[in-house]
Amino acid sequence: MVSPTDQRTDGALDVLRRVFGYDAFRGVQQDIIEHVVAGGDALVLMPTGGGKSLCYQIPALVRDGVAVVVSPLIALMQDQVDALTAVGVRAGFLNSTLDAAQRRRVEAAYLAGELDLLYLAPEGLAVRSTLGLLERGRIALFAIDEAHCVSQWGHDFRPDYLNLSMLHERWPDVPRIALTATATRATRTEIATRLQLTDARHFVASFDRPNIQYRIVPKREPRRQLLGLLRDEHPGDAGIVYCLSRASVEKTAEFLVANGIPALPYHAGLDAGTRARNQQRFLREDGLVMVATIAFGMGIDKPDVRFVAHLDLPKSVEGYYQETGRAGRDGLPSTAWLAYGLQDVVQQRKMIETSEGDLAHRRNLAAHLDAMLALCETVRCRRAQLLDYFGEAGAANCGNCDTCLDPPESWDGTVAAQKLLSTVYRLDRERNQRFGAGHSIDILLGKHTDKIDQYGHDALSTFGIGTELRDVEWRGVVRQLLAEGLLAVEGDYGTLALTEASADVLSRRRTVTLRKEPERPLSGRAAKPRGAATVVADLTPAATGVFERLRAWRAATAKEQGVPAYVIFHDATLRQIAAEPPASLAELSRVSGVGENKLAKYGEAILAVLAEG
């Protein structure tokens, strides 16, 4: 145990080294910590995995009193407390999962000043007895985690967060630090206003996540493509697969299991017990794949998620970034993979058109979708485009995304676009009929389908004039025209219609540059083995063997203690130990992630595992 009196007098850097076992602060961490330790308010914007927790955990140890952490993530509080306990920090939580006796124990510890951190759900702060309890203790600071939950426009809105402005009124002298990974300027302003953080200093970290490789591929047979990705690049890795609907979550999870990949489903239609169990297993066991709707993920701080795959198009770049950000928190190479196709565009446009809400709301949804589509269709570096979107302009090509690794070819699609648009025009104006994309493509390809024969569409002047492109290529044309707003989908059936901008193409006032559809969507060049394979990629075979032995020891230890494996040690720490095996406890203590407490607790066991070899 780290003795509490020492902690009070320690400098922040010393706490970082001694307690957490890390060498140096990352980016803005140090500025934030110094500011809060000195009693200042802070609003922190950092991407997922950026290292937000230390920004309040270290001030909690340096300042007098107990840090009160407000978090909506009740299900994760136990793990957070376990992770802190593992490094010798005294933490507890109060929420609805505790029974009366457990609650009394935590309350007594708080009042006796025997806690460094106390986690609370926001609804707890609406309860008078809890407020009374807090008032009888000494508070070091308030940390408001997932602060974007105060935003009424976001999908994580929690009404109880609106209440939190009272913290400032009741405890005007206690510093507050609000943290979020949601980046937009509008959300940031809203957080500052609603939490009365008007004098807070804003700390905005770069949103770049260099260890994540971004890839967006055309959707052909999505489940097969996914399977290829998992088998070729991520065998044995933990990861998340996002699907839009509950049904496709179920089907995809079954498909993976049938193909020998351990996968679990997660969506709002499952009962709470199953959801909690699946989440628990994902966090605790090695190498599970979670197939989920976006209901899964906020606050999941499992550091070794090696891939995040999307089988359906996210509704916004914000959502995409937040979801993909759950990969690679430990800084090791990870993949963000998205399969995207014509049907996604049709479906999402349709959903927006038929959505409830006023025109302004629908426009807002459409603008978000457009930005997402622009990211999918860009021939630029994906990362540069993402960073640009979040206000970091001028990033160089990253060398770690599909467009950098395998630059897409573009082609002059003006004539193809004209052929397609005039087919839609003729159906609409000459026949007063509207059809989906497939039918227009059949007309261009000159196919005699039942529908074409039935309507006599072989008499249209565009019948059979598009045989220079294959069906998939035409679908690419339609998709890109939709993405650029040169074509629209309407109604319940997702039929094609012209837009005002279509006329410019038809009258040759505008040319259209299109991205070439790759022959094989899973490009061999981008697809070098990653994940479990990458974690040990540059290790010698002997060191890889050591790494596997350490992992097995970790799994057994975690199971014995009932905590997630990463609470014992992160992959990155085991990897470093395997690469340069320490010969003594003193040498082991210099490895990143090995602090005093873990050294005392696991040091001998690690040396014993190493000696076995």
Contact stretch for ligand ADP (CB under 6 A) within 45-53, 378-386, 491-499, 531-539: 45-53
Contact stretch for ligand ADP (CB under 6 A) within 23-31, 59-67, 184-192, 436-444: 23-31
Single out the residue of 115, 244, 249, 404 in contact with Zn ion (rule: CB under 5 A): 404
Give which of Zn ion, ligand ADP, none residue 427 binds (C-beta under 5 to 8 Å, depending on kind). Answer: none
DSSP per residue over 198-238, as a string?
TTPEEEE-----TTEEEEEEE-SSHHHHHHHHHHHH-TT-E
Tell me if 401 contacts Zn ion by CB under 5 A: yes
Pick 12 or 443: Cβ nearer ligand ADP: 12
Structure tokens at 588: 């082991």
Give which of ligand ADP, Zn ion, none residue 383 binds (C-beta under 5 to 8 Å, depending on kind). Answer: Zn ion
Tell me if 609 contacts ligand ADP by CB under 6 A: no
Q: What residues have CB less than 8 Å from 586, skipping those under 6 apart?
A: none
Question: Can you tell me the distance from the alpha carbon of 152 to that of 462, in angstroms, rounded to the nearest whole number?
Answer: 50
Give which of ligand ADP, Zn ion, none residue 398 binds (C-beta under 5 to 8 Å, depending on kind). Answer: Zn ion
Q: Check if the beta carbon of residue 322 is closer than 8 Å to that of residue 181.
A: yes
**Hey, what amino acid is at 545?**
G
Pick 35 or 426: Cβ nearer ligand ADP: 35
Structure tokens at 476: 């690419």
Tell me if 88 contacts ligand ADP by CB under 6 A: no
Which 3 state secondary structure label does DSSP give 177?
Answer: strand
Contact stretch for Zn ion (CB under 5 A) within 152-160, 252-260, 357-365, 395-403: 395-403
| Burial label, 56 (beta-carbon count in 10 A; 0-12, 13-18, 19+) | buried
CB of 329 to ligand ADP, least distance (A): 5
Q: Which residues of 119-158 are buried (b: 16+ CB within 10 A; e: fewer)?
A: bbbbbbbeeeebeebbeebebbbbbbbbbbbbbeebebeb
Single out the residue of 190, 301, 323, 442 in contact with ligand ADP (rule: CB under 6 A): 301
Sheet of 305-310: strands edge to edge?
A: 212-218, 334-340, 305-310, 238-242, 289-292, 263-266
Considering Cα of 552, then 558, then 564, then 569, what sign does the dihedral take?
negative
Tell me if 49 contacts ligand ADP by CB under 6 A: yes
Q: Which residues of 246-282 are buried (b: 16+ CB within 10 A; e: fewer)?
A: bebbbebbebbeeeebebbbbbeebeeeebeebbeeb
Question: Can you tell me the distance from the alpha carbon of 364 to that of 349, in angstroms, rounded to the nearest whole number?
Answer: 12
Q: What residues have CB less than 8 Å from 237, skipping those under 6 apart?
A: 230, 287, 306, 307, 531, 532
Structure tokens at 492: 């319940």
Contact stretch for ligand ADP (CB under 6 A) within 42-50, 63-71, 183-191, 270-278: 42-50
Single out the residue of 17, 19, 42, 51 in contact with ligand ADP (rule: CB under 6 A): 51
Over the window 131 to 170, marking each residue x when it contacts ligand ADP by CB under 6 A and - when it does not, the resulting string is: ----------------------------------------
Tell me if 398 contacts Zn ion by CB under 5 A: yes
- Count other C-beta atoms under 10 Å from residue 583's C-beta: 11
Contact stretch for ligand ADP (CB under 6 A) within 18-26, 169-177, 445-453, 470-478: 18-26
Tell me if 206 contacts ligand ADP by CB under 6 A: no
Of the candidates 442, 181, 163, 472, the one whose C-alpha atom is nearest the C-alpha of residue 298 is: 181
Pick 154 or 438: Cβ nearer ligand ADP: 154
Tell me if 590 contacts ligand ADP by CB under 6 A: no
Question: Can you tell me the distance from the alpha carbon of 214 to that of 204, in angstroms, rounded to the nearest whole number?
Answer: 22
CB of 181 to ligand ADP, least distance (A): 6
> Can you give 299-361 as a three-state secondary structure string?
CCCCCCEEEEEECCCCCCHHHHHHHHCCCCCCCCCEEEEEEECHHHHHHHHHHHHCCCCCHHH
Pick 53 or 165: Cβ nearer ligand ADP: 53
Q: Check if the beta carbon of residue 477 is closer than 8 Å to that of residue 488.
A: no
Tell me if 46 contacts ligand ADP by CB under 6 A: yes
Over the window 531 to 570, marking each residue x when it contacts ligand ADP by CB under 6 A and - when it does not, the resulting string is: ---------------------------------------x
Give which of Zn ion, ligand ADP, none residue 26 binds (C-beta under 5 to 8 Å, depending on kind). Answer: ligand ADP
Tell me if 22 contacts ligand ADP by CB under 6 A: yes
How far does CA 150 lie from the centroid of its chain?
A: 19
Pick 286 or 377: Cβ nearer ligand ADP: 286
Contact stretch for Zn ion (CB under 5 A) within 93-101, 261-269, 369-377, 392-400: 392-400
Tell me if 17 contacts ligand ADP by CB under 6 A: no
Give which of ligand ADP, Zn ion, none residue 25 binds (C-beta under 5 to 8 Å, depending on kind). Answer: ligand ADP
Tell me if 329 contacts ligand ADP by CB under 6 A: yes
Tell me if 306 contacts Zn ion by CB under 5 A: no
Of the candidates 377, 369, 372, the one whose C-alpha atom is nearest the C-alpha of residue 352 is: 369
Q: Which residues of 374-391 are buried (b: 16+ CB within 10 A; e: fewer)?
A: ebbbbeebbbbbbbebbe
CB of 305 to ligand ADP, least distance (A): 11
Contact stretch for ligand ADP (CB under 6 A) within 51-59, 98-106, 395-403, 577-585: 51-59
Over the window 567 to 586, marking each residue x when it contacts ligand ADP by CB under 6 A and - when it does not, the resulting string is: ---x----------------
Tell me if 115 contacts Zn ion by CB under 5 A: no
Size of the site for ligand ADP (CB under 6 A): 17
Contact stretch for Zn ion (CB under 5 A) within 185-193, 383-391, 509-517, 523-531: 383-391
Question: Can you tell me the distance from the alpha carbon of 343 to that of 2, in angstroms, rounded to the nearest whole number?
Answer: 57
CB of 63 to ligand ADP, least distance (A): 19
Tell me if 381 contacts Zn ion by CB under 5 A: yes
Tell me if 262 contacts ligand ADP by CB under 6 A: no
Tell me if 195 contacts ligand ADP by CB under 6 A: no
Tell me if 50 contacts ligand ADP by CB under 6 A: yes
| Burial label, 524 (beta-carbon count in 10 A; 0-12, 13-18, 19+) | exposed
Q: Check if the beta carbon of residue 214 is closer than 8 Å to that of residue 387.
A: no
Of the candidates 36, 94, 78, 24, the one whose C-alpha atom is nearest the C-alpha of residue 61 is: 36
Single out the residue of 17, 18, 35, 52 in contact with ligand ADP (rule: CB under 6 A): 52
Residues of the shown chain interacting with ligand ADP in the complex, contacts defined by CB under 6 A: 22, 25-26, 29, 46, 48-54, 301, 303, 329-330, 570
Residues of the shown chain interacting with Zn ion in the complex, contacts defined by CB under 5 A: 381, 383, 398, 401, 404
